[in-house]
Chains A and B, each alone.
Chain A
Amino acid sequence: QQPVQSPQAVILREGEDAVINCSSSKALYSVHWYRQKHGEAPVFLMILLKGGEQKGHEKISASFNEKKQQSSLYLTASQLSYSGTYFCGTFYNQGGKLIFGQGTELSVKP
Chain B
Amino acid sequence: DAGVIQSPRHEVTEMGQEVTLRCKPISGHDYLFWYRQTMMRGLELLIYFNNNVPIDDSGMPEDRFSAKMPNASFSTLKIQPSEPRDSAVYFCASSLYSRGALNTEAFFGQGTRLTVV
Contacts and interface: CB of A to CB of B under 8 A. Distances in A.
Interface in B25-50: 31, 33, 35, 42-43, 45, 48, 50
A40 B102 CA distance: 24
A100 B91 contact: no
Contacts, number: 63
Contacts of A94: 100-102
Interface of B: 31, 33, 35, 42-43, 45, 48, 50, 55-56, 91, 95, 97, 100-111
B77 to A, nearest CB: 16
Interface of B, secondary structure class, is strand
Interface string A28-56: 01101010000011111001010001010
Contact of B107 (A40, A44, A53, A87): A44
B109 A41 contact: yes
B42 A42 contact: no
A105 to B, nearest CB: 11
Contact of A97 (B42, B45, B107, B110): B45
B105 A44 contact: yes
> Chain A: interface residue count, which band?
20 to 34
A43 B105 CA distance: 9
Given A41-B108, A42-B43, A42-B108, A95 B91 contact: no
